């Protein structure tokens, strides 16, 4: 089932553990990963109401260090990395000179002149080559993806589950902050981040500690009190969609500008020059033609990636992500529509197998956790 028949699928350090747990394995970005364990809906609800544990070791990590690392990062990303204190994290975009995405990523400031970029699995080789080509000044760019496993523990019970297993004081870690500490005595980066819309942590550590930590978390968290379950890629996708978090390749890519993707909040034009800034400045002045908007189906049917969006009988856009939303119990989606179609409440339709099924533009995120 490998997309590239000549190359075997890559395996994370937890591959055997997933198989032992009965994970339904699929190919994703060249990796052999579990799409689900007990079931998508059950896993999705576990994360929203209790806790879920994800192996996201396929994600990439790129270390940028050296005296000119901040200046370099400021040039290649659109958010203002100068605002980051040591231990602070920001969502950002690796930019093309057209104001579009090479990737979306988290910029983690791990040291005085050291940053760790967390990038999408499907883009690791592309991003690393791109960053290395652009490297300017006194910087070191190192692909650390193979050096790290990454576990995501997400849900209201995440902190209570992880707390006794780590040396870190988790209650002291604010959202989008990280610490260097230990998990079961294994040196780790622990960040309060995630791709689910829930509270939770992402743990970066060496592959040799992965199984020990994975099983310890499942054992501690698997009680009735905490209700922790292992979660696969399918629920990862439904969770991020409810939280309106973009997926590269679906909602954003090198043909969509950061403004068109409705991510203007990560664009800091005033921080200084950066790749694509001219295009974004122009778009800000002239306005956009298309924008990414959220919608929910009002008729029967599920909108999916690639389906046309229709208004007044005419195709005017396309669905980029769509699914049944297990927590909201609705069919929702994201898609590019003309700016005049994007106001909340606008009635649209999605062409599903030749039939126009009504939908409506709605406020996003579709789901927001109770604080």
Partner 1 sequence: MNPQDLLYSKDHEWVRVEGEDGTVGITEHAQKELGDIVYVEAPETGAEVKAGDEVGTIESVKAVSPLYSPLSGEVLEANGGLDDAPELLNQEPYGNGWIYRMKLGDIGELDGLMKAEDYEKLVSSEE
Judge contact between 198 and 370, C-beta under 8 A: no
Place of tokens 């806790």: 51
Measured CA to CA, the distance from residue 305 to residue 365 in angstroms comes to 18
**Residue whose CB is less far from partner 1, 71 or 302:** 302
Number of residues that bind partner 1 (CB under 8 A): 19
Please tell me what DSSP assigns to residue 292: E
Strand, helix or coil for residue 264: helix
Q: Binder to partner 1 among 136, 180, 282, 300 (CB under 8 A)?
A: 300
Does position 301 interact with partner 1 (CB under 8 A)? The reply is yes
**Which of left, alpha, beta for 326 (phi over 0: left; psi -120 to 50: alpha)?**
alpha
Least distance to partner 1, CB of residue 18, Å: 16
Q: CA-CA distance, 166 to 168, in Å (whole number)?
A: 5
Q: What distances in angstroms separate CA 75 from CA 108, 128, 232, one per listed residue?
A: 16, 15, 35
Q: Is 224 buried (19+), middle (13-18) or exposed (0-12) by CB count in 10 A? A: exposed
Binding track over 311-330 against partner 1, x by CB under 8 A: ------------xx-x----
User: What is the closest distance, in whole angstroms, from the C-beta atom of residue 114 to partner 1 in the complex?
Assistant: 39
Looking only at residues 97 through 116 of this chain, which bind partner 1 when binding is defined by CB under 8 A?
none
**Smallest distance, partner 1 to C-beta of residue 40, A:** 4
Stretch near partner 1 under the rule CB under 8 A, chosen from 32-40, 71-79, 100-108, 180-188:
32-40
Structure tokens at 1: 């089932």
DSSP for 4-35? STTSPPB--TTHHHHHHTT-EEEEETTEEEEE
How distant, in Å, are the alpha carbons of 154, 178, 287 from that of 21? 19, 30, 51
Select the residue interacting with partner 1 from 12, 15, 36, 191 (CB under 8 A): 36
In the complex, least distance from residue 324 CB atom to partner 1, rounded to whole angstroms: 4
Give the one residue of 27, 35, 179, 271 binding partner 1; rule: CB under 8 A. 35
**Structure tokens, 63:** 């270390």
Q: How far is the CB of 151 from partner 1 (least distance, A)?
A: 23
Nearer of residues 19 and 304 to partner 1, judged by Cβ? 304
At its nearest, how many Å lie between partner 1 and the CB of residue 217?
25
Nearest CB to partner 1, comparing residues 61 and 251: 251
Asked if residue 354 binds partner 1 (CB under 8 A), the reply is no
Query: Taking contact as CB under 8 A, which single stretch among the options 76-84, 102-110, 198-206, 232-240 is the one that binds partner 1?
Result: 232-240
Phi/psi at 197 (nearest 5 deg)? 90, 0
Q: Is 353 in the site for partner 1 (CB under 8 A)?
A: yes
Compute the distance between CA of residue 23 and CA of residue 1 in angstroms, rounded to an integer.
16
| Paired tokens of 307 | 């389906």
Q: Which of 12, 120, 229, 238 binds partner 1 (CB under 8 A)?
A: 238
According to CB under 8 A, which one of 142, 266, 269, 302 is a site residue for partner 1? Answer: 302
Residues contributing to the site for partner 1 (CB under 8 A): 24, 35-36, 39-42, 234, 237-238, 300-302, 304, 323-324, 326, 331, 353
């Amino acid at each position: 089932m490998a997309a590239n028949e000549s190359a075997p699928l890559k395996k994370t350090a937890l591959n055997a553990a997933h198989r032992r747990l009965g994970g339904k394995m699929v190919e994703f970005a060249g990796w052999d990963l579990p799409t689900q364990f007990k079931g998508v809906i059950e896993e999705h609800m576990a994360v929203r109401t209790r806790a879920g544990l994800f192996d996201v070791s396929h994600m990439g990590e790129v270390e940028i260090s050296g005296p000119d690392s901040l200046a370099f990062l400021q040039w290649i990303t659109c958010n203002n990395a100068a605002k980051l204190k040591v231990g602070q994290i920001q969502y950002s975009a690796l930019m093309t000179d057209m104001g579009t995405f090479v990737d979306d990523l988290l910029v983690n400031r791990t040291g005085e002149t050291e940053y760790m970029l967390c990038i999408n699995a499907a883009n690791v080789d592309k991003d690393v080559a791109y960053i290395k080509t652009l490297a300017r000044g006194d910087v070191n760019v190192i692909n650390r993806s193979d050096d790290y496993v990454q576990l995501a523990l997400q849900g209201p019970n995440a902190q209570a589950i992880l707390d006794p297993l780590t040396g870190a004081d988790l209650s002291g870690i604010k959202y989008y902050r990280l610490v260097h500490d230990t998990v079961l005595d294994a040196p780790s980066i622990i960040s309060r981040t995630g791709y689910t819309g829930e509270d939770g942590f992402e743990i970066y550590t060496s592959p040799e500690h992965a199984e020990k930590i994975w099983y310890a978390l499942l054992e501690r968290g698997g009680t009735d009190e905490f209700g922790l379950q292992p979660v696969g890629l399918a629920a990862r996708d439904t969770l991020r969609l409810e939280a309106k978090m973009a997926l590269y390749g679906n909602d954003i890519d090198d043909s969509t500008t950061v403004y068109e993707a409705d991510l203007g909040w990560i664009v800091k034009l005033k921080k200084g020059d950066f790749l694509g800034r001219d295009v974004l400045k122009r778009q800000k002045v002239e306005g956009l033609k298309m924008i990414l908007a959220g919608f929910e189906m009002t008729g029967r049917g599920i909108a999916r990636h690639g389906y046309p969006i229709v208004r007044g009988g005419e195709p005017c856009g396309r669905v980029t992500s769509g699914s049944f939303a297990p927590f909201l119990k609705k069919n929702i989606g994201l898609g590019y529509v003309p700016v005049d179609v994007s106001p909340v409440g606008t009635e649209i339709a999605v062409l599903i197998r030749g039939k126009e099924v009504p939908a409506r533009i709605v406020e996003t995120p579709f789901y927001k956790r109770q604080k």
